[in-house]
C-alpha cells in the first residue's frame, strides 16, 4: 500500500495496512530546526542543509531522506511566504542561534541584532517581529489594524493574496512532490478568522472589540471571507485535482477552555467557517478538509463536523475535556483525528523512553481501531528534545502501528 493510499483509507474510516504517520505534513506537525538538525546528525545525515521554511515558528523543511527514515506518509504543499515577508523560493545561510550550525533561511530573512541580544525583523522601518536573546521563535510585534476605526482602513489592508507567481511556484512544487514520492499531499491554505483578527488588531484588542465594536469586526471578518473565496477559486482551480487534503486553521481553544464562548463562536465564526467549507466541497467534493485548532475544542467538535470539517488537528489531549477515549467514542465515526499520538508537553521532553513508548502505544490502541487516525505528536516537536527520543517516537509508531496482533 502506498503512503497516499494508506492515508486516504484511514480518512475514509477504514483500517489501512498500518497506522499512517506524519512529520512535517503541515505547520503544526513539524519540528523546530534545532531539533531537526540534531535528528539529521543522529541519523547520519551530517551534511544535510537545514532549511527554515517558517521563520515565525522556526520550523524545518523535512527532507526526503528524513521523511523516509521516520516513515512519514504526508507532505505539505508549502505556500511561498515563509513568514514576515520572506520567500521560500530561494535560501541563504545564517546562524542565528550561535551554535555554529548550518541553517538556510528564506530569501528576505535579515534580522537585526539589538543591544540586549534580541533579534528584530523590520519591514519598511517598522519592527514586525522579535526574538528575545536565547529564544527559539519570532513573535509578532506589529498589528497593522490596531485602533482602526473605519471600514476603509480595513478594506485597504485585507486583500486577496494569491498571485500568479505563487500559483506557478505551487504548481512546480506539486509536480516535484508527485514525481518523487507516493505521499498524500496537504495543500496549506490557511483561511483563519479568529487568528487573523489577532494578527491584524492584536489579541486583546480584537477579543474586546468582538464585544464592544461587533459591527466593525464583522465587517473585517466578511472582508476576510471575500478574499479567501477569491483565493480559493484560484487555488482549487489550479491545484485542487492534484492534492488530497486542504488545510485550514483557527485556534478556537486554550489549555483550559474554548478561546471564545460558544455563543460568539456560533453566531460570528461558525457561519463564515461553513461558507468556506461549503465552497471547497462544491468546488472539489473529493478533497478532505483539514482543520487545525489547538486547545480544548471539545465543545466545538460537533460544530466542526456540521460545517463540513473532516479532519481535526492537533488533537490536544492534555487540554480540558480532550481525553482520547472520550474523543474517539463520541466523534470517531464522524471526524478523523490527525495528531494526539504523543504527549509533547510532558512525556516527550521529560519522560523516559519507556514512558514515551507506553504513551504512544496507549494512544494508538485508542485512536486507530476502525481507521480515522493519523499518528503525529501533539503539535510541533520543540527545540530541546533529544534526537534519540524523536526517532523513537516514529519507530514506535511504525512498529506498533504495523502490529496486527494489537
Measured over the CA atoms of residue 330, residue 12, residue 401 and residue 295, the dihedral's sign is negative
pLDDT of residue 101: 82
Average pLDDT over residues 213-235: 99
- This prediction has a pTM of 0.97
**Whether residue 406 has pLDDT greater than 80:** no
Residue 99: per-residue pLDDT: 83
Q: How far apart are CA 374 and CA 247, in angstroms?
A: 15
> Each residue of 38-97: pLDDT tens digit?
999 999 999 999 999 999 999 999 999 999 999 999 999 999 999 999 999 999 998 898
The answer on pLDDT for 404 being more than 70 is no
Give the 3-state secondary structure of residue 275: helix
CATH architecture designation of domain 3-30+144-401: Alpha-Beta Barrel (3.20)
Q: Cell numbers 526526503 label which residue?
A: 64
Q: Which residues of 314-336 are buried (b: 16+ CB within 10 A; e: fewer)?
A: bbbbbbbbbebeebbeebbeebb
Q: How many CB atoms lie within 10 A of CB 220?
A: 26
Where in the chain are the domains? 3-30+144-401
CA distances from 372 to 112, 244, 310, 367 (A): 46, 15, 10, 8
Q: Do residues 347 and 385 make contact, with C-beta atoms less than 8 angstroms apart?
A: no
pLDDT tens, residue by residue, 250-302:
999 999 999 999 999 999 999 999 999 999 999 999 999 999 999 999 999 99
Beta pairing, strands 336-338 & 112-113: unpaired
Residue 405 has pLDDT above 60, yes or no: no
Q: Is 384 helix (H, G, I), strand (E, B) or coil?
A: coil
- Name the helix (H) or strand (E) containing 210: helix 203-212
- Position 98 confidence tier, pLDDT thresholds 50, 70, 90: confident
DSSP 151-195: HHHHHHH------HHHHHHHHHHHHHHHHH---EEEEEEE--SHH
Residue 205 has pLDDT above 70, yes or no: yes
114 and 86 Cβ atoms separated by less than 8 Å = no
CB distance 305 to 327 below 8 Å: no
Q: What is the mean pLDDT of residues 227-236?
A: 99
- Let me know: does 64 contact 73? Beta carbons within 8 Å: no
CA distance 50 to 101: 9
In 3D space, the residue among 148, 164, 168 whose CA is nearest the CA of residue 156 turns out to be 148
Amino acid at each position: 500500500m502506498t503512503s497516499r493510499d494508506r492515508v486516504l483509507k484511514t480518512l475514509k474510516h477504514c483500517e489501512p495496512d498500518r497506522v499512517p504517520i506524519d512529520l512535517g505534513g503541515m505547520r503544526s506537525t513539524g519540528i523546530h530546526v534545532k531539533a531537526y538538525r540534531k535528528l539529521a546528525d543522529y541519523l547520519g545525515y551530517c551534511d544535510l542543509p537545514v532549511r527554515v521554511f517558517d521563520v515565525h515558528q522556526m520550523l524545518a523543511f523535512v527532507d526526503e531522506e528524513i521523511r523516509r527514515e521516520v516513515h512519514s506518509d504526508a507532505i505539505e504543499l508549502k505556500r511561498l511566504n515563509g513568514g514576515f515577508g520572506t520567500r521560500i523560493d530561494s535560501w541563504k545561510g545564517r546562524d542565528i542561534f550561535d551554535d555554529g550550525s548550518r541553517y538556510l533561511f528564506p530569501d528576505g530573512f535579515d534580522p537585526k541584532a539589538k543591544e540586549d541580544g534580541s533579534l528584530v525583523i523590520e519591514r519598511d522601518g517598522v519592527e514586525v517581529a522579535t526574538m528575545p536573546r536565547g529564544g527559539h521563535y519570532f513573535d509578532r510585534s506589529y498589528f497593522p489594524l490596531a485602533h482602526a476605526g473605519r471600514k476603509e482602513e480595513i478594506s485597504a489592508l485585507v486583500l486577496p493574496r494569491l498571485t500568479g507567481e505563487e500559483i506557478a511556484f505551487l504548481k512546480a512544487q506539486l509536480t516535484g512532490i508527485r514525481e518523487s514520492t507516493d505521499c498524500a499531499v496537504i495543500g496549506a491554505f490557511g483561511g483563519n478568522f479568529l487568528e487573523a483578527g489577532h494578527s491584524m488588531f492584536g489579541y486583546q484588542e480584537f477579543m474586546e472589540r468582538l464585544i464592544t465594536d461587533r459591527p466593525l469586526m464583522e465587517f473585517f471578518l466578511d472582508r476576510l471571507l471575500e478574499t479567501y473565496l477569491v483565493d480559493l477559486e484560484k487555488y482549487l482551480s489550479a491545484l485542487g485535482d492534484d492534492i488530497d487534503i486542504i488545510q485550514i486553521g483557527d485556534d478556537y481553544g486554550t489549555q483550559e477552555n474554548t478561546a471564545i464562548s460558544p455563543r460568539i463562536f456560533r453566531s460570528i465564526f461558525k457561519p463564515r467557517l461553513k461558507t468556506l467549507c461549503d465552497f471547497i466541497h462544491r468546488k472539489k467534493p473529493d478533497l478532505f478538509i483539514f482543520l487545525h485548532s489547538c486547545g480544548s475544542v471539545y465543545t466545538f467538535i460537533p460544530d466542526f463536523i456540521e460545517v463540513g470539517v473532516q479532519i481535526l488537528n492537533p488533537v490536544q489531549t492534555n487540554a480540558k475535556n480532550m481525553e482520547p477515549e472520550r474523543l474517539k467514542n463520541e466523534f470517531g465515526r464522524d471526524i478523523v483525528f490527525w495528531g494526539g499520538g504523543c504527549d509533547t508537553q510532558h512525556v516527550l521532553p521529560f519522560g523516559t523512553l519507556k514512558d514515551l513508548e507506553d504513551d504512544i502505544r496507549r494512544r494508538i490502541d485508542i485512536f486507530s481501531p476502525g481507521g480515522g487516525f493519523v499518528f503525529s505528536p501533539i503539535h510541533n516537536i520543540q527545540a530541546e528534545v533529544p534526537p534519540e527520543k524523536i526517532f523513537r517516537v516514529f519507530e514506535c509508531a511504525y512498529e506498533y502501528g504495523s502490529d496486527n496482533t494489537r
